[in-house]
Chains A and B, each alone.
Chain A
Amino acid sequence: MAMSCDRSRKKWQKVLYKDQGVSDNYVDESFLEEMKKNLHIRTYEFWAVVRESNVVMHQIYSVWIFVAVYFHMRNFVLTPQFLFEMSSAVTIVGYIVNFVILHENALTKSRWKDGKTMGIFLILGFSLSPILMTLTKTISTDTIYAMTFFMLLANLLFHDYGTDAAIVSQAFSLNAAIFASICLASRLPTTWHAFSLVTFAFELFALWPILRRNLKIHFPRLQIILSFLLGSVVTVSVATVSSVAVVVFLLLHLFITILCPAWLIRLQPYKNNIHGPWDEAVIKQ
C-alpha cells in the first residue's frame, strides 16, 4: 500500500464502523499486537521430573511382579498356598499401615464393614474359581498371552497417575487388570492356583494403589526407597524366569526414568501456546 505523505495519516483504529480510507485487506503494524505466547509455562528441573516419573514406574512394577508370579506358579517354583499366605499377610500389614497413616478413629463399624467385604470376596472368589479357571481354557495360549498383554497395557494407559486427563478411567484400568488375571489363571493347573492368582491380582491392582497414594501424600520421601525396593524385587523375580525379560525391563526402566524426562525438557523451547482476544473468556470472580 502506498504511503501518501501529503495526507495527514491518523492512527489506524481497530474498529468496524469507520471508513478509514484503507482497503479491506489492509494489514496494520498493530496486527497481532494483542497476541501473547506461552503465558503459563512451567520450568522443569531434571531430577524433579525423574523423581515424579516413579509414579508411572510403580504401576509398571506391579504389572511385572504379577506376570513374574504367574510364571513362577506355572514352573511350580511358587505354590499357591505360599502365594496366598504371603499376599494375605502383606495385605493385612498394608491395611494396618493405611489405617495408622490416615489417623482414622477406631470406628469398629468400618473395620467390621471391611472385614465383611473381605470375607464375602474370599468366599465368592473361592466358590467361583472353578468357573474362572475354565472360562478361557478353550482359547489358545498365544491368544491368551496376546490378550493379557493388551489388557495390562490398557491398565497402564488408563490408570490414575494423579493427573486430570480425560483418558483416566480407574474402573476401566482395574477391569483390564482383572481380566488379564483371569486370562492367565486359565493356564494354571488347579483351582487353588487360579484362586490365589486372582486374589493376588486384586490385592496388587486394587488395594496397593490406594496405599501407595496415601504413602505418597504423607511420606513423599519414602517413594524413592520404595522404588528401589520394588525395582530389585522385580529384577530378581524376573531374572529367574528369563534373562531377556530382565534386560527388557531394565531398558524400559531407563527409558521412562531418564530418557523421557530429558526428552520433555528438550521439547520445552518448542512450546507455542497462543493467547489473544479471540480466546473464550474465563469468568473472573
Chain B
Amino acid sequence: MKHSICMVSDFFYPNIGGVESHIYQLSQCLIERGHKVIVVTHAYGNRSGIRYLSNGLKVYYLPIQPVYNQCILPTVFTTLPVIRNILLRESINIVHGHSAFSALALESIFHARTMNVKAVFTDHSLFGFADLSSILTNKILKFSLAGVNHAICVSHTCKENTVLRGKIDPSDVSVIPNAVDASVFTPTSTERDPEKITIVVMSRLVYRKGADLLASVIPEICSRHSDVQFIIGGDGPKRLAIEEVREHFQLHDRIRLLGTVGHSAVRQVLVRGDIFLNTSLTEAFCIAIVEAASCGLQVVSTSVGGIPEVLPPDMIQLAEPSATSLVESLDKAIAKRRNCQLLSPDGAHDWVRKTYTWQNVAERTEIVYDKISAATEVTLADRLHRYNKCGLVAGKIFIFIAALNYLLLILCNWISPVQNIDLAVDCRKLRRLKTSGVNLEQSS
C-alpha cells in the first residue's frame, strides 16, 4: 500500500545535521519504494516557498522565521491554517514529525490528529527528568504523544527514555536505528601514516561531548605511547582547554586541531585515522561512530546512552566515562592495532554497508505506516480522554487546547471549504509517465 507522507521538522536542508540528513535519506528511500513524500519546514533566511530536491522531493519552506535554537515560536494555533492547507492540497494520509526540540513538528502532529490524519513521531535524543527545562519539555511531549498513533526511537535506550517521559505504551514505540550512506564513507589505506597510530576525534568541543575527558586523556596517552598522534576535528567553547593541554605538555607535533570540518570533508579526515575516539557524555545513537566504522576505523567510546547497542564488541571498545577507563580502552585498542588483531577496514566497511542501510530503515518505517493506516479511527471523545490522562491540572488544559483547535478547524473548513482547495500535482504520476516513455511536451 502506497502512502502520501508529510515529513515535518524545524531541522532540514540547508542546515546540515543528524536529523536533517535522516529526514532527507529516509524521504529518498521512501520515494524509491513508490510512496509520495513531501517535507515541511520553516524558512531559512531568504529561502521561503516551495523547492524541489532530487527525485521530486517537494519541500515547503513555510514563511515563518526561526526565533530560538533554529525553531519557530510555538504558538499552537497559528500554524493550523497553513498546515491544514498543505495536508489537503497534497492529500496527505500520514504526518511524520521529527525531533522533540522541533516546535513545528509537534504542532503539525497536533493539527494532523485534529484533522484525523495519522501521525508518527520520531525521537532522536535523550532527555533527563530532574531539571526544570526537562520537566516542562516532558509535559509537552506527553501532550504530543497522547495524540500520536505511533512513535519511533533510534535505539532501545531512547525507547525506554521516551516511554518513561511520555507515559505511552511500549508496544506503541518501534525501534528503528539510524543509518549511514556507506558509499560515501569508504576506507582507503593510502591516507594513513603507516609509522604512527592516528587517533581521530570528530565532535563539537562542548561539555556534553566530553571535551573535558578528551583533554585529560590526550596527555596520558601521548606519554605512554610515543608513536600516537591525535587529529581533532570540530570547534566549540572547550577548544581552549585542548589548546592549553597542547601548550602545557608541548605536544604541538602530536595534536592537530582542524577546527570546524565541513560535512563533505569529514570522510577525508576519518580515513587518515586508525582509531576513532568518542567521549560523549550522552548519546541516543551516535551516528559518528558508525561513520567511523564504515571508514574502517576501530572505535573507542564511552559507554553512555545507546552507544553499547550500535556496534558489535569486535568493532568498538567501550569505557566508563572516566579518564582512567578511557585510557585503558585506548591502550587495548592501540595494542590490538600494533598486533594487527583488528578487523580489516574493508571488513568493517562491508559490515556497516550491510547492517545500517537507509533502505532497511525505510522498509521498517513502511511497516509502521501500514500498521497505523490499518488502525481504526479515534473519535474526538477518545482523544480528549487520552489528553485528560496527562495530569491532574495539565489534562484539563490540554483538553481545552485540543477542543479549541477542533473548533478552529471547523472555522477553517467554513472559511476555506475543502472542495475549493486545488489538489497538487503528484510527482509520481509524472515520473511514471516519463518512465513509460510518453512525450510530456506533446501531452500537455
Residues of A bordering B, CB below 8 Å: 14-17, 23-25, 27, 31-32, 34-35, 273-274, 276-285
Name the CB-closest residue of B to A285.
Answer: B322
Q: Report the minimal beta-carbon distance from B281 to chain A, rounded to whole angstroms.
A: 4
Question: Number of B interface residues, CB 8 Å?
Answer: 47
Name the CB-closest residue of B to A14.
Answer: B156
Q: Is B321 positioned at the interface, with any CB of A under 8 Å from its CB?
A: yes
Evaluate whether A31 and B171 lie within 8 angstroms (CB atoms) in the complex, with A17-B356, A281-B282, A281-B321 already known.
no
Name the A residues within 8 Å of B130 (CB-CB).
273
Q: Report the minimal beta-carbon distance from B168 to chain A, rounded to whole angstroms.
A: 11
CA A279 – CA B283 in complex, angstroms?
9
Please determine whether A276 and B161 come into contact, CB atoms closer than 8 angstroms. Answer: yes
Evaluate whether A31 and B170 lie within 8 angstroms (CB atoms) in the complex, with A16-B309, A17-B310 already known.
yes
Q: Is B155 positioned at the interface, with any CB of A under 8 Å from its CB?
A: yes
Please determine whether B322 and A284 come into contact, CB atoms closer than 8 angstroms. Answer: yes
Cβ 8 A contact of A32, one of B128, B160, B212, B213: B160
Interface flags for B209-252 (1: CB within 8 Å of A; 0: not) read: 01011000000000000000000000000000000000000000
Please determine whether A280 and B322 come into contact, CB atoms closer than 8 angstroms. Answer: no
Please determine whether A278 and B208 come into contact, CB atoms closer than 8 angstroms. Answer: no
Please determine whether A278 and B309 come into contact, CB atoms closer than 8 angstroms. Answer: no
Please determine whether B355 and A17 come into contact, CB atoms closer than 8 angstroms. Answer: yes
Name the A residues within 8 Å of B208 (CB-CB).
280
Q: Report the minimal beta-carbon distance from A80 to chain B, rounded to whole angstroms.
A: 46
Cβ 8 A contact of B310, one of A16, A23, A277: A16
Please determine whether B160 and A276 come into contact, CB atoms closer than 8 angstroms. Answer: yes
Name the B residues within 8 Å of A35 (CB-CB).
160, 164
Name the B residues within 8 Å of A277 (CB-CB).
157, 160, 304-305
Please determine whether A282 and B172 come into contact, CB atoms closer than 8 angstroms. Answer: no
Q: Is B158 positioned at the interface, with any CB of A under 8 Å from its CB?
A: yes
Name the A residues within 8 Å of B309 (CB-CB).
14-17
Q: Report the minimal beta-carbon distance from A2 to chain B, rounded to whole angstroms.
A: 14
Please determine whether B156 and A280 come into contact, CB atoms closer than 8 angstroms. Answer: no
CA A204 – CA B87 in complex, angstroms?
66
Cβ 8 A contact of A278, one of B160, B213, B323: B160
Q: Report the minimal beta-carbon distance from B343 to chain A, rounded to whole angstroms.
A: 14
Name the CB-closest residue of B to A15.
Answer: B309
Name the A residues within 8 Å of B213 (CB-CB).
283
Cβ 8 A contact of A16, one of B127, B155, B173: B155
Name the CB-closest residue of B to A34.
Answer: B160
CA A273 – CA B158 in complex, angstroms?
18
Please determine whether B128 and A279 come into contact, CB atoms closer than 8 angstroms. Answer: yes
Chain A to chain B: the 10 pairs with minimum beta-carbon distance, closest first: A24-B174, A281-B321, A284-B322, A278-B161, A280-B282, A16-B177, A281-B281, A278-B126, A25-B174, A27-B170
Q: Report the minimal beta-carbon distance from A240 to chain B, rounded to whole angstroms.
A: 44
Q: Is B412 positioned at the interface, with any CB of A under 8 Å from its CB?
A: no
Name the CB-closest residue of A to B285.
Answer: A16
Name the B residues within 8 Å of A34 (CB-CB).
160
Name the CB-closest residue of B to A276.
Answer: B160
Interface flags for B165-203 (1: CB within 8 Å of A; 0: not) read: 000001111111100000000000000000000000000
CA A272 – CA B306 in complex, angstroms?
23
Name the A residues within 8 Å of B127 (CB-CB).
278
Q: Report the minimal beta-carbon distance from B349 to chain A, rounded to whole angstroms.
A: 14
Please determine whether A274 and B281 come into contact, CB atoms closer than 8 angstroms. Answer: no
CA A31 – CA B158 in complex, angstroms?
12
Name the CB-closest residue of B to A282.
Answer: B321
Name the A residues within 8 Å of B158 (CB-CB).
278
Q: Report the minimal beta-carbon distance from B30 to chain A, rounded to whole angstroms.
A: 16
Please determine whether A274 and B164 come into contact, CB atoms closer than 8 angstroms. Answer: yes
CA A285 – CA B305 in complex, angstroms?
20
Cβ 8 A contact of A283, one of B157, B161, B170, B322: B322
List 22 A-B residue pairs with CB atoms under 8 Å apart, sorted by A's residue number.
Answer: A14-B308, A15-B309, A16-B155, A16-B177, A17-B310, A17-B355, A23-B367, A25-B174, A32-B160, A35-B160, A274-B129, A276-B161, A276-B164, A277-B157, A278-B126, A278-B128, A278-B160, A279-B128, A281-B321, A283-B212, A283-B281, A284-B321
CA A172 – CA B127 in complex, angstroms?
33
Name the A residues within 8 Å of B321 (CB-CB).
281-284
Name the A residues within 8 Å of B150 (CB-CB).
25
Q: Is B28 positioned at the interface, with any CB of A under 8 Å from its CB?
A: no
CA A181 – CA B212 in complex, angstroms?
48
Q: Is B35 positioned at the interface, with any CB of A under 8 Å from its CB?
A: no
Name the B residues within 8 Å of A24 (CB-CB).
174-176, 364, 367-368
CA A34 – CA B157 in complex, angstroms?
10
Cβ 8 A contact of B171, one of A14, A27, A284: A27
Q: Report the minimal beta-carbon distance from A89 to chain B, rounded to whole angstroms.
A: 46
Name the A residues within 8 Å of B156 (CB-CB).
14, 16
Name the A residues within 8 Å of B308 (CB-CB).
14
